[in-house]
Structure 1
Amino acid sequence: MSVEVDALLQEAKESIEAAQNYRSELQQRLHGLNQARKQVRGSSGQAREALRKHFTELQVAAGRLLNERLAALLAEVDAIETDSIRPLDDCQSLIEHGVGQADELLREGEAALRSGLGEKEDKLGSFTKKALHIQLDSLPEVPALVDVPCVSAQLDDSLLGLLRERVSRHGSVSSHPPVQIEELQERPGSILVRWCKVDEDFAAADYRLQYRRCGSGGQYEDAYIGRDCEFLVLHLDPHTEHLFRVCARGEGRTEWSPWSIPQTGYTTLAPHEWHPGTEGYILSSRRNIAMRNDSSPSRCPVLYSNAPTYFCGQTLTFKISAAGQLDRRDSLGVCVEGESGPESLQRDQAVCISTSGAVFVNGKEMTNQLPAITVGSTVTFDMEVVNLFPISNNNLSDGGNFKLRVTIGSGNREVVFDWLVDQAVDCLYFACSFVHSGWKVLVF
């Protein structure tokens, strides 16, 4: 009987645990549902506010433009009227003056006719002279109506039709942004952001990526604008959350699309840093940029990373922002140990590429060669573990017991080879060495 009770108790406990898990899962889904409802409600409210604000601004701006145009046209009418009336006023003054002279002459003539015989001759003579002086046969010319302005306003009724057609297509509402962030991949001191189109009908010409630190309350800042669908955001502090968002601009358009739903990402990997205090090199404040500042033709000092921060499976990138004189001993690469003794990276337990494009594996030059390194060059190293088991004794003469597959890329070319090392490693030092000053390299 006790066995049956124990079995029932165990079954009850399992059912209770299952019910608790089931309730927890339902509560999580309910929370997700509430978040989804909050996003729909919140984004709808923001869209309404954006529409009202935009169209209110358009109404104000359109009213201002129409008032400005009306004022300009009225000013044109005023100017034409003023310029046209002035000569008519002058002509009217001349005619009115002539009418006054004629009235005065008529009065004198009538008075001369009414005068007595003794003075009639003198008055008639004086009147005749005055009449000749006034030139009664000379009349001012009055312009014909066809020769003076007849002001009119020409108004194109098609403007309203054009406005109606443009307004009917102005603005749009979408349930989803045309672009969404697809992946946030942590890198040393950085995050690789990848995005993709979710609206296949949207023809994107450019993308715009922004980010900001979580909890800072600051504004988003641009990280990238261009045609690529991924970008590595550098100079991020480890274990610090950042928000990322992306939008797009359509072909032939000037405005940007709505932003994607912000995604939170962070990196747990410490940033790549050069080792400070190496003679002949100066570093940037973040120690990710090194510059050769002291030439010594007899020496080729190697600058190592501060720690073995390059892990297999990642991509290590060197970018050359300034270049000096070439030397066959110049190199960029990775190594098992950050030794301070050797004055060359072209040695055992290291793989590197020289500035001439030659590739060295454990100090031996390969037959394959990459493009020469110059200003703007980007060199990448990718490695994966081929095996973690000792290779047979027949291969010990090759100089190693463990194998890594290495891919070095430079320009539009790459070489792939297997690198034998003496011990199993999952993290490596990176390094550079330059003979002459002027070289400047960024690592990420």
Structure 2
Amino acid sequence: MPGLVVSLPQRSRRMAEREGLLLEARESMEAARNYSRELSGRLQALSQARTQIRDSAAQTRLGLREHFLGVCSAVGQMLEDRLVALLQEVDAIESENIKPLDECQKLLEQGVSAAESLLREGEVAVSCSAGDHQDLCNFTTKALHIQLDSLPEVPSLVEVPCLSAQLDDAFLSMARDHISRLGAVASRPPVQVEELLERPGAILVRWCKVDEDFAPRDFRLQYRRGAAGHFEDAYVGSECEFIVLHIDPHMDYQFRVCARGDGRQEWSPWSVPQLGRTTLIPHEWSLGLDCYSLSSRRNIALRNDSLQHEVLYSKAPTYHPGQTLTFRVETAGASDRRDSIGVCVRKVDGLESLQREGAVCMSSSGAVFVNGKEMTNQLPPISPGSAITFDMELVSLGANSEGPQRRHRVTIGSGNREVVFDWLLEQSCDCLYFGCSFFHPGWKVLVF
């Protein structure tokens, strides 16, 4: 029989089908791998959740036992001390009131002894009275001196103490009521860390209430470097966010928060610790100006009494649009119309103020300057504790005869007011310097 001949089109079609099946198989295998990895990740997350439940339950049991053992010991000691005090009071009353009775008893016993002695002498005198008249005279004289008709007074039973213990059975009822309300077990803390946002050399921590029945009055935020060591207090107050400063870049930090209910003194359980880090290097003032003294971290500048007047710039252009730059005025000196605090495209040494081209700033009086021109809108004057914030975002691209430009929307805030305006920047200016200038000593500014 002649052999079966497969035409080229059929062979090509089969090869194409095979390639299609292989491609589909590889895609299915890759999908299976991704699915397996996803499931493995969820299994790990589930294991962590299980571990958290078991570890927190064990820690809660240990805390409850330690607390109640401490309460039992303290209450037992208080009851023992109270018993000792009551027994001492009984001893004092007994001793105080027995003493006069002992004295009375001693007097009576002396009287009985004297009467018995006199009786014996009388018997002797009577028995021999027929022969000795003088003995009878002596006896009767002695009996008159003893005053046999004078008897000491003995208090009646109603006149002397009759001790008893007054014990209120209602104490057990009150104690039972207080004990029944001692402590509580919660399945989760009433507040949790909601968000960790990196800032230059800092982390903005936001938290929220997760228990609707809990009415917080104060919050307490703590942090620690790494997963070991002791937590340190960072903030106590009524706000729901706080910027933790002095954070080293590229290092892990743990954050936790608790709350204190309205009308209560004790703090709630801590939230689940959250891990955060910042990759942004901290803002620093530049060294080299005699008229400013800097802190060890170079994020605080103090205007001293030097006669030099010059703008203090940042060490590098570390402010990037899209971030929030904050200046917090710790102390304030005398105000001058040339004072300025703000951001600029480049450093220009030797100038006295940022009120110039290529800069936006605010003066100590609250006036806002854009490229050296004063705006009509004004912010509150700077005072100790003032926080001045600069926010900037790109809103459009443009061009003029000199080349491309970027229009940035700038928001300067101080107190409860803010000024918003558009500022044209060169395209290459993706990062800006910040600076300040004060003409009188006493100004102290923290930047973050």
TM-score range, shorter chain: over 0.9
In the aligned structure 1, how far is the partner of 2:43 from the partner of 2:378?
59
> Where does residue 333 of structure 1 map in the other structure?
342
Task: Describe the SS at the equivalent of 2:441.
Answer: coil
In the aligned structure 1, how far is the partner of 2:326 from the partner of 2:335?
20
Q: Is the 8 A contact 2:257 2:270 kept in 1?
A: yes
Once the two structures are TM-superposed, the CA of residue 388 in structure 1 deviates from its matched residue by 2.4
> Where does residue 149 of structure 2 map in the other structure?
137
Once the two structures are TM-superposed, the CA of residue 117 in structure 1 deviates from its matched residue by 3.1
Once the two structures are TM-superposed, the CA of residue 344 in structure 1 deviates from its matched residue by 1.5
Matched, 1:271 2:282: yes
Task: Describe the SS at the equivalent of 1:367.
Answer: strand
Aligned residue identity for 2:154? V
Task: Describe the SS at the equivalent of 2:108.
Answer: helix
Once the two structures are TM-superposed, the CA of residue 92 in structure 1 deviates from its matched residue by 0.3
> Where does residue 135 of structure 2 map in the other structure?
123
In the aligned structure 2, how far is the partner of 1:116 from the partner of 1:230?
116
Instruction: Give TM-score scaled by structure 1 length.
Output: 0.95
Once the two structures are TM-superposed, the CA of residue 325 in structure 1 deviates from its matched residue by 2.1
In the aligned structure 1, how far is the partner of 2:130 from the partner of 2:321?
141
Work out which of the residue numbers 426, 439, 443 in structure 1 matches 2:443.
439
Aligned residue identity for 1:409? G
> Where does residue 106 of structure 1 map in the other structure?
119
Task: Describe the SS at the equivalent of 1:72.
Answer: helix
In the aligned structure 2, how far is the partner of 1:360 from the partner of 1:205?
41
Aligned residue identity for 2:263? G
> Where does residue 54 of structure 1 map in the other structure?
67
> Where does residue 249 of structure 1 map in the other structure?
260
**Alpha-carbon displacement from aligned partner over 1:130-158 (angstroms, at most 9, x marks no partner):** 11111111111111111111101000101
Aligned residue identity for 1:97? Q
- What does residue range 8-407 of structure 1 map to in structure 2 within 5 Å? 8-119=21-132, 121-215=133-227, 217-296=228-307, 300-390=309-399, 401-407=405-411
> Where does residue 416 of structure 2 map in the other structure?
412
Once the two structures are TM-superposed, the CA of residue 342 in structure 1 deviates from its matched residue by 2.1
In the aligned structure 1, how far is the partner of 2:415 from the partner of 2:252?
34
Once the two structures are TM-superposed, the CA of residue 108 in structure 1 deviates from its matched residue by 1.1
Once the two structures are TM-superposed, the CA of residue 308 in structure 1 deviates from its matched residue by 1.1
Task: Describe the SS at the equivalent of 1:310.
Answer: coil
Aligned residue identity for 1:210? Q
> Where does residue 7 of structure 2 map in the other structure?
none
Q: Is the 8 A contact 1:290 1:440 kept in 2?
A: yes
**Alpha-carbon displacement from aligned partner over 1:4-32 (angstroms, at most 9, x marks no partner):** 22122112111111111111111111111
Task: Describe the SS at the equivalent of 1:389.
Answer: strand
Once the two structures are TM-superposed, the CA of residue 78 in structure 1 deviates from its matched residue by 0.7
Instruction: Give TM-score scaled by structure 2 length.
Output: 0.94
In the aligned structure 2, how far is the partner of 1:426 from the partner of 1:200?
44
Task: Describe the SS at the equivalent of 1:176.
Answer: coil
Task: Describe the SS at the equivalent of 1:365.
Answer: strand
Once the two structures are TM-superposed, the CA of residue 294 in structure 1 deviates from its matched residue by 3.1
Task: Describe the SS at the equivalent of 1:286.
Answer: coil
Q: Is the 8 A contact 1:388 1:424 kept in 2?
A: no
**Alpha-carbon displacement from aligned partner over 1:105-145 (angstroms, at most 9, x marks no partner):** 111111111114342x2111111111111111111111111
Once the two structures are TM-superposed, the CA of residue 421 in structure 1 deviates from its matched residue by 3.0
Once the two structures are TM-superposed, the CA of residue 423 in structure 1 deviates from its matched residue by 4.2
Q: Is the 8 A contact 2:320 2:431 kept in 1?
A: yes
Once the two structures are TM-superposed, the CA of residue 170 in structure 1 deviates from its matched residue by 1.0
Q: Is the 8 A contact 2:197 2:205 kept in 1?
A: yes
Task: Describe the SS at the equivalent of 2:298.
Answer: coil
CA RMSD of aligned residues (A): 1.5
Q: Is the 8 A contact 2:291 2:309 kept in 1?
A: no
Between the aligned residues of both structures, percent identity stands at 64
Aligned residue identity for 1:370? L
Task: Describe the SS at the equivalent of 1:291.
Answer: strand
Matched, 1:4 2:17: yes
Q: How many residues align?
A: 434
**Alpha-carbon displacement from aligned partner over 1:242-291 (angstroms, at most 9, x marks no partner):** 01111111111111111111100000001010011123111101000011
In the aligned structure 1, how far is the partner of 2:126 from the partner of 2:351?
139
> Structure 2: 5+ residue runs without aligned partners?
1-13
> Structure 1: 5+ residue runs without aligned partners?
none
In the aligned structure 2, how far is the partner of 1:386 from the partner of 1:173?
52
In the aligned structure 2, how far is the partner of 1:368 from the partner of 1:14?
62
